[in-house]
Structure 1
Amino acid sequence: MKFELRAFGNGVFRVRACADGVFTDTLLSRYGLIHEPEAAEISDAAVTDRGLRLTADGDTLTLSGGRRTLTFTLQDGNACRGYTLDQPLEKSERFYGLGDETRDCIQKRGHTADMWIRNVVSYGPIPFLVSSEGWAVFVNTTYRHRFDIGDSDPDRLRVTVSDGHLDLYLFACGSMKSCIAAYTKLTGRPQVLPKFAYGFLYVLNMETDIRSMLWDCRTFRKEGIPCDTVGLEPSWMAQNYDYSVDKKWNPEKFPLPYWKPANISDSSTFFYPLREMSFRFSLWLCMDYDLLLKEERDVGNKVTLRTDLADFTDAEIIDEHLDDDVYMDRITKHGEDWFEHLKKFVDNGAAAFKLDGSNQVSAHPDRLWAGKYLDAEVHNLYPVLYARQMAEGFEDYTGRRSMIYTAAMYAGTPGYAATWAGDTGGGPKSMTSLLNFSMTGHSNSTCDMMVTSVEGIHCGFLMPWAQYNDWAYWRYPWFLRPSLEEAIRFYSNLRSSLFPTLYAAAYAAWETGLPMARPLSLIYEDTDRYDDAMTLYFLGDSLLVGAFEMRFPLPDGLWIDFWTGEEYKGGGVLDYTPPEGRGGALLVKAGAILGRMDPQPAIMERIPETIYLDWYPREGTSGEFTLYEDDGETLAYRSGTTARTRVTGSTKDGVCMLTVSPRDPGGVADEYLSKKLTLRIHTQDKLTVSDASAGSPLSAVYSDGLITVELPFGFGGGSVRAE
């Protein structure tokens, strides 16, 4: 067996092996979906990194010097046309990750994962497995494969790949969080979506036409239900489920002035009143295009799928029907990239695209992609290429961030698209999908909100992004019973008000790989206490969300009920009863600082004048929050154009101290920055509040459990003392 070992630093290694020593790139590598740093060391026998040592001997790989020594053994095959890799497990070792390949568990020991995209069953398998012992493995393959994690043998991990040579990355980073950070840096960090994407997206019924869409938008505004984006399902197209690049607006439902250009968006169209009401719109897409033609061109491989034209020199009959090649693929237009035909709809105003499962979740057993690749190698990869070509196409054309959301994903997708849990609704299983994605660092995930219960509404609005899909139904808020309509109104306003906190969590995912929705098993990775908590997670740093199951383990420390202000001591199991009109638990970690704003009809309707700092000080606690501000839609944040304001707070011996560091504008124009800061202290104590910097008392408004103080120093920085 011949090996190629590489060390990249920070505990990251790559291993390739093949009996003949001829290494070929996987399609993930070939198409640049893995962002590999320059290797510090390359060898066929041993590489080292900061006390870690990876060696290859015969059929055995050994990684030593970390929290434990890892020994991987090739069990059969020559590692050129598939392989099985075996690794002994520690008794107390637990495993997480692998994405949305099961919704029965988040702790994967004792489970076998079939890594193959399938509708409903497995929308998003991710070949990244992380151990509670502080190491992880990413299998660099797009072929179907299996992870047997102590299932057939309780003491062994077996990875079986159906084809291709051995190619994997090992992470010995010391903790699960560090491994996820390294993996997401390698395969692409979750993007910060445009601001409107973190508001509320409402997918309209299939029977929607111009009048009903505009009236629905008007009704959202009239009823005081914040909503940012409306989505159109397949009926927006002239041909239902149009897979081609010739699609047009449905002339009966969405007529446009026929004498004007197809990319029109002026005041003579329905796009104009949508903008006037601060609505974006999203378009549903289905897909069967040969995306690998573009990928091959992009890597410099000229694909020729056309032979010489027929030669009729000696023909007595010239039959032009036989003058050209015959293609099995009747959809793809050779030489035209997929996104090209969507530009006119972007000109119309389309700000988001919904990538339905049709047909990206379906296998294509007889398909030959780009004239050379079988579906066995392409099937898992296809949704990643789809997401990338959509995202890059939109961004290159507009200079703005894309909001591409897809039902299917694989390694690399988070750098280009958000996801939802497919055609599975918004119950407990969808929450498990969210948490399994989070254990791979995928952040921008949600589900189809279940609006027939307040529990489903609670869950749906408190996910990283919120989507309400009416598709073939008529469950509009104003058609539901009053209690459900009011719940939607309440939670949509709550979500709007929490935008600064949500946006900070989105930035954390982009900068560190720590997802917006954080399973407790990830935050408290040294214990197995939370491995069965599949409907409980942190949203950002300090908000604990519980849905559906109201008996759950409460982490150590003090917790404050967001709804009632009641306090709970952690360390045990909480039997929680939500107050009337609330669908589940929302608890705040004592000492936390949350960023809030006044709810708006749409997140991007205007820049909020005032940012509220909601502080929950309790004796012996501390907290911090960073406010992120930017233009909300361009790509400038990727090069550091972001304003940051750091806020810290602590309470000791009855004295509460909060410090606002001066805002770092980061090159952001003033028009995108809020002007005022207001502190809201959540406490039953009637504290006296003073400006610690100036030594002068501050005027405060006292109400039940809340002290409100406008900070005179604002974003210039200063400190507050309350006692």
Structure 2
Amino acid sequence: MRSSRASVVVLTSTGLHVRIEPIASHTFHVRMNQTGCFEEPSALARLGIVAPSPASDCWEMKMREEVMELITESASLRVDRRSGELSLYGSAGTLLTRQNRPPRSGCGTSAGPCGTSAGASDDGFETQFVLAAEERIYGLGDQHDTPLMKRGCKIAICFRSGKEVHAPVPLLLSSEGWGLLMDNDRRHEFDVGCSSPDVVRIRGRRGELAFYLFAGGSLAELLQKYTELTGPAALLPVWAYGLSFNCNQQAEARDMLEDALKFRREGIPCDMIGLEPTWMDRQFDYDGPVDWHPDRFYIPQWLPKGAHTFMGALGTAGFKLTLGLYLRDDGEAGKQLHLPEDWYEYLKPFVAQGVLGFNLCTHIPIREMANIPVAADDRSEDAESLPHSTVVSRSVREGFATQTGRRPMIYTPVGYTGIQKYAAVWSGGRSKAHLSVLGLGLSGIPHMAVDMELHTAAGIHCGFFQPWSKVNSWAYWRHPLLLDPELLLLFKTYARLRYQLLPYIYSAAHVAVRTGLPIARAMPLVFPDDPHAVVQQNQYMFGDALLVAAFTDQVYLPAGEWYDYWTGEKFTGPADISYHVPRHAGGPLFVRAGAIVPMWPDMEYANQRPADRLELHVYPGGMGEFTLYEDDGTTFGYQHGELAVTSIASRYERRVFAVELGPRVGRYPDMPESRTWEVVVHALDKPAAVKVDGKQWRETNGSFKKPPPASWSYHRKTGTLRLLVPDVFERQDSIGLEISLSGGRGRMSEQQRSQSRPNVVQRTVGELEKDIEVGLETGNTAKTLSALERWWSLRTAEAGSVEDVREHWLAMNGLLVRTAERKGRTLHEIAGGDPLLRSRFQPTDSAEDAYKSLTQIATRIIEYGKKQGDTYGIIRQATDIIMSEIDRELLLYAIADRLHLNSSYLSRIFKQEIGLSFSDYVLEKKMGRAKELLLAGSTVATAADQTGFKDASYFNRVFRKYWGVTPGGMRS
């Protein structure tokens, strides 16, 4: 045995040299070979994937018989000096993992600088670690047809493996608190409990056995240690987190511009337009310059730059252009890795013209590449250059940064460990695309996107809840404007939501860069102690607050309270639910109670307007916190402290919901000096009082375009409280909001909770009133009485006095009166000569009697309508169509035709039974729905789409005439 302050080398009885270097308090670098000659730097350090780190001085060595132990502050590693077997222990002395067989390793060098023969044999390496009974293994990159949890899988770290492999990463993360990264850049293989269920075996056909072994706690903590080892991920430009669109490979300049302008005409936000490698005049071989294709992308040489070019036109419309480049494919590793030093010079002219990124492609699609036949004795696979795309990406990123001082958008379909430092990763579709995203997130690569499955609602839903979103036409015609109307409307809804969420997503990206915790987080990362959560593959957390379920209607909600984003319904976990996806959505989306979600106003592209006004959506329940990260969005200034950080916290206790807005700490160029926070509190009944910094604010009706200062408004139909809070950069103290609750869900008795569905907390009062109204109008007795029962339970759960009960009784009677009047009748007419029912119109001191009177009146209204004969059934069918298709154009003749009626007859009986003409009734429902959407925070364009108006300007005129205020005014 020999040692230095940097490392220890042990010679085993089998002639194996084991070198151990503690490089951090939790990480050991282990190398083994037969020669004792350890080339420097090792494979990953030579490639710049692992930064050479100074040796750790904070460790000691102990000897006990045939065992040597290296001890650091957080871990210890024991070596059996006879066999070379290793055992890793945590800081508390707990065994984390161990080898159970002597490791085997080749010579590790091709020459003899240490006095060994240049012809020393190299028979590869092999080692294995014991797996505990319940141990779960994650990582190893993205490979098709493998689950997130890799135990039971055999995985080759290569691209040509008979499977579709996008980004093999030789990283293991264990639920038992240890991780391993192979220090290797050639093909090798992991057998994770496949051949032998209780061991993970690692083998390769060439080279020495080398790896980094680290101890750390949870999967999230292990990812952070991996990030410390390999370096942080590259932060993409803020616009790259929006929507990207790749044109068809046959597109010309005019086609590309038309594709881009379609997004603007239809009000669909989008930032990035990409071209396939067919944009150039010849195949790019990295050895010489290329130019634009002279026919398809013609640029006059006398004036090649400016707003008049196709790139200038794109920029004027807010788009950013990326160009496709084929990765070099010479078939020889040496040529692949040793690119010409000045090859980036060939890209400089395009960057100078305005190109902001590059798409690194493969000549052969991944699916076909994986199935290229290889002879059994062919060792070319061993020479396959795994880090090739990493080397190219690094060169482009560094060259672009030097030339422009800005961050480029580089994305590649293939990668290896370390690719996260230079590029994002993308791939084509797979049966469950989100597994690629989650698998790479568990492998230290946070920026992964899969081509959006554009022609299904579930594909759109999943496609927009990825770290970055990409629609790829490639050889096909995938443009949202080519979708059927229903899917197009859905796509618009998700695209606008994505852009509203950009400050939330960008903050999650900052967290990913700092800690390795990905934006899209597999359930084991967030809920490691919930045995039911860790096995969920079809759902994940998107940032801290949002739970996304993909390609499924079965959702597991972990412990705590959760809000259905689409309906506002509140659930209590742990619970398994069968989810019914609303028509205006593509999949389940839940918000964690206590969540704080910042949102931008509507924009056509990122940073279209200064971020001087943000919406802050908060969801009461327990404790919540969020850190908002902001920078200039394009440069590397954030690496040098040019960013602003705002800490926001919430708490919910003793019927008081409080939000604390911390000051902005730090600054960046062109940062707004002042800001307005539009705070939106969800799922509350009307509060008793609202205070800001201890001062009570007054209530307004919410119809003001510019609300009075120190005021708040409550919107009953959406169950949201809104208030505007001004903020300035110089502020040093936090702004405190306190909302005192007066009733609603927070006041339900335990008995009432136990009588409700076990996992569902009642809908808001406003939503239940809407259900009652719809039930009465459509003659649905069961729906009406069910909603009425839940409404009454909410209203009387903690009624403090008889007066409170009477007030609620009168409020519901008002709704019943309005319903009857719409049918052209009064309640007394409906009661007829029934003295008992007439007595029910008088208030009572008994809550039970009051409730009974309401159910009798509601039932009588429905029965009265049914007694009107066949016409009532007709009207019910018509109103059912109207209510279910409010987002479409509703014409009298079309509905009459569907009901096999004459349109004049339907018009006459509609007026007779409803009390309104058909067109007036449709308008009333559309305008009511539009108002609800706007007050809930929807954009004007969304409100128009979802109420069946194809022309937004026409919608504006109709809305203003109906409500006396513009849609924008209503929304403000």
Whether 2:95 is the aligned partner of 1:95: answer no
Aligned to 2:31, what secondary structure does the other structure show?
strand
Change in Cα spacing, 1:564 to 1:286, as seen in structure 2 (3 Å) is same
Which residue in the other structure is 2:646 paired with? Answer: 645
Aligned runs of 1:421-440 on 2, under 5 Å? Answer: 421=427, 423=428, 425=429, 428-440=431-443
1:341–1:670: structure 2 CA closer, same or farther, 3 Å change rule? closer
The offset of 1:103, in angstroms, is 3.5
Q: What do residues 300-327 of structure 1 show as CA deviations (whole Å, max 9, x unaligned)?
A: xxxxxxxxxxxxxxxxxxxxxxxxxxxx
- Deviation of 1:522 after TM superposition, in Å, equals 1.3
Deviation at 1:492, TM superposition (A): 0.7
SS in structure 2 at match of 1:675? strand
Q: Which residue of 2 aligns with 1:116?
A: 158
CA distance in 2, matches of 1:555, 1:290: 50
The alignment partner of 1:92 has SS state of: coil
1:47 equivalent in alignment to 2:70: yes
Distance 1:122 1:332, change over 3 A: closer
State the SS of the aligned residue for 2:77.
strand
Residue of 706, 713, 728 corresponding to 1:701: 713
Matches within 5 A, 1:246-261: 246-260=289-303
Aligned residue number for residue 657 of structure 1: 658
Q: Tell whether the 8 Å contact from 2:620 to 2:657 is kept in structure 1 after alignment.
A: yes
Task: Name the SS of the counterpart of 2:558 in structure 1.
Answer: coil
The equivalences for 1:28-177 within 5 A come to 28-41=44-57, 45-50=68-73, 52-56=75-79, 57-58=81-82, 59-65=84-90, 66-72=93-99, 73-78=101-106, 80=108, 81=122, 82-118=124-160, 121-177=164-220
* Structure richer in helix, relative to its length: 2
> Shift of the alpha carbon at 1:13?
1.1
Q: Say if 2:615 and 2:677, in contact at 8 Å, map to a contact too.
A: yes
The answer to whether the 8 A contact 1:12-1:173 is kept is: no
Partners of 2:227 and 2:330 lie apart in 1 by 27
Contact 2:26 2:74 in 1 (8 A): no
Whether 1:540 and 2:555 are equivalent positions in the alignment is no
2:486 paired residue among 483, 488, 509? 483
CA 1:70–1:247: 2 relative to 1, 3 Å? same
Decide whether the 8 Å contact of 2:337 with 2:385 is kept in 1.
Answer: no
Q: Secondary structure at the match of 1:180?
A: helix
**Alignment partner of 1:668 is 2:668:** yes
> How far off is 1:359 after superposition?
6.4
Residue 343 in structure 1 maps to residue 343 in structure 2: no
* Structure-1 residue corresponding to 2:756: none
Residues 31 and 553 from structure 1, CA distance in 2 versus in 1: closer, same or farther, beyond 3 angstroms?
A: same
Query: CA shift at 1:109, angstroms?
Result: 1.0
Whether 1:277 and 2:306 are equivalent positions in the alignment is no
SS of structure 2 residue aligned to 1:496? helix
- Contact 2:131–2:199 (Cα < 8 Å) also in 1: yes
CA distance in 2, matches of 1:29, 1:519: 29
Report SS of the residue matched to 2:140: strand
Partner of 1:469: 472
* Residue 360 to residue 333, structure 1, CA distance change in 2 (3 Å): farther
Q: Relative to structure 2, which stretch is displaced further, 281-290 or 72-81? A: 72-81
Change (3 A) 1:653 1:714: farther
Is the CA contact (8 Å cut-off) linking 1:6 and 1:43 kept in structure 2? no
Counterparts in 2 of 1:445 and 1:76: CA distance versus 1, 3 Å: same
Aligned to 1:10: 25
Contact 2:553 2:588 in 1 (8 A): yes
Letter in 1 for 2:56: A
1:390: Cα distance to partner? 1.6
1:586-607, CA deviations, whole angstroms, 9 ceiling, x for partnerless residues? 1000010001011200013222
Q: Which digits, 9 at most, give the CA deviation of each residue in 1:474-503, with x for residues without a partner?
A: 232222110111111111100000011001
Relative to structure 1, the CA distance from residue 527 to residue 157 in structure 2 (aligned partners, 3 Å threshold; closer, same or farther) is farther
| SS in structure 2 of the partner of residue 529 of structure 1 | coil
Aligned in 2, Cα 1:143/1:378: closer, same or farther, shift over 3 Å? Answer: same
1:202–1:351: structure 2 CA closer, same or farther, 3 Å change rule? Answer: same
User: What SS does structure 2 have at the residue aligned with 1:436?
Assistant: helix
**Residues 356 and 408, structure 2, Cα contact 8 Å, conserved in 1:** yes
CA contact (8 A) 2:173 2:219 kept: yes
Q: Distance in 2 between matches of 1:673 and 1:447?
A: 38
**TM-score normalized by structure 2?**
0.66
Tell me if the contact between 1:241 and 1:286 (Cα under 8 Å) persists in the aligned partners: yes
Query: Are residue 287 (structure 1) and residue 302 (structure 2) matched?
Result: no
- What does 1:136-535 align with in structure 2 at a 5 Å threshold? 136-239=179-282, 245-260=288-303, 264-288=304-328, 335-358=340-363, 376-377=382-383, 379-421=385-427, 423=428, 425=429, 428-535=431-538
Distance 2:129 2:212 in 1: 15
Q: What SS class does the counterpart of residue 663 from structure 2 fall into?
A: coil
Counterpart in the other structure of 1:721: 738
Q: Percent identity?
A: 34
Partner in structure 2 of residue 310 of structure 1: none
Distance 1:406 1:99, change over 3 A: same
Q: Deviations 1:107-139 (Å, cap 9, x if unpaired)?
A: 111111111124961111100101101111111
Using the alignment, how far apart are the partners of 1:163 and 1:118 within structure 2?
A: 17
Distance 1:335 1:406 in 2: 20
Partner SS state of residue 584, structure 1: coil
Cα displacement (A) at 1:242: 6.5
Secondary structure of 1:212's match? helix
1:199–1:466 CA contact under 8 A, matched in 2: yes
Rounded to whole Å, the distance in 1 between the matches of 2:340 and 2:188 is 33
- 2:778 matched to which residue of 1? none
Asked if structure 2 preserves the Cα contact closer than 8 Å seen for 1:595 and 1:625, the reply is no
Compute the displacement of 1:692 (Å).
4.0
Alignment of structure 1 residues 598-617 onto 2, 5 Å: 598-617=601-620
Change (3 A) 1:468 1:79: same
Give the deviation of 1:77 after TM superposition: 4.5
In 2, Cα distance between equivalents of 1:569 and 1:390: 49
| Displacement after TM superposition at 1:185 (Å) | 1.6
Query: Any conservation in 2 of the 1:99–1:440 contact (CA below 8 Å)?
Result: yes
Per chain length, whose mean CA-contact separation is higher, i.e. which structure has more relative contact order (CA < 8 Å, sep 6+)? 1
Question: Secondary structure, in 3 states, of the residue corresponding to 1:84?
Answer: strand
- Measured in 2, the distance between the counterparts of 1:153 and 1:174 equals 26
Instruction: Rate the CA distance shift 1:712–1:332 in 2: closer, same or farther, 3 A.
Output: closer
Residue 375 of structure 1, CA deviation: 6.9
Q: SS in structure 2 opposite 1:690? A: strand
Q: Find 2:598's aligned residue among 583, 588, 595.
A: 595
Aligned residues: 672
Structure 2 Cα separation of the partners of residues 470 and 3 of structure 1: 52
**Any idea what the Cα deviations from partners look like across 1:593-638, whole Å, max 9, x if unmatched?**
00101120001322233111100013xx111111111111000111
Q: What's the Cα RMSD here?
A: 2.6
Q: Which amino acid aligns with 2:102?
A: L
Q: Is 1:560 matched up with 2:560?
A: no
In structure 2, the CA distance between the partners of 1:574 and 1:243, relative to structure 1 (3 Å rule), is farther
Query: What residue number does 1:322 align with?
Result: none
Aligned equivalents of 1:118 and 1:334: distance in 2?
A: 22
User: Is contact 1:104–1:429 with CA below 8 Å preserved after alignment?
Assistant: no
Aligned residues of 2:232 and 2:421 also touching (Cα < 8 A): yes
Give the distance between the partners of 2:574 and 2:468, measured in 1 at CA: 30
Deviates more, 1:93-102 or 1:686-695: 686-695
Which residue in the other structure is 2:851 paired with? none
Query: Aligned AA for 2:737?
Result: V
Question: Aligned AA for 1:712?
Answer: P
Counterpart residue identity of residue 567, structure 1: K
Change (3 A) 1:596 1:671: same
* Alignment gaps of 5+ in structure 2: 1-15, 62-67, 109-121, 373-378, 698-709, 741-972
Cα distance in 2 between the residues matched to 1:544 and 1:354: 30
Q: Distance in 1 between matches of 2:636 and 2:364?
A: 30
Q: Which amino acid aligns with 1:133?
A: E
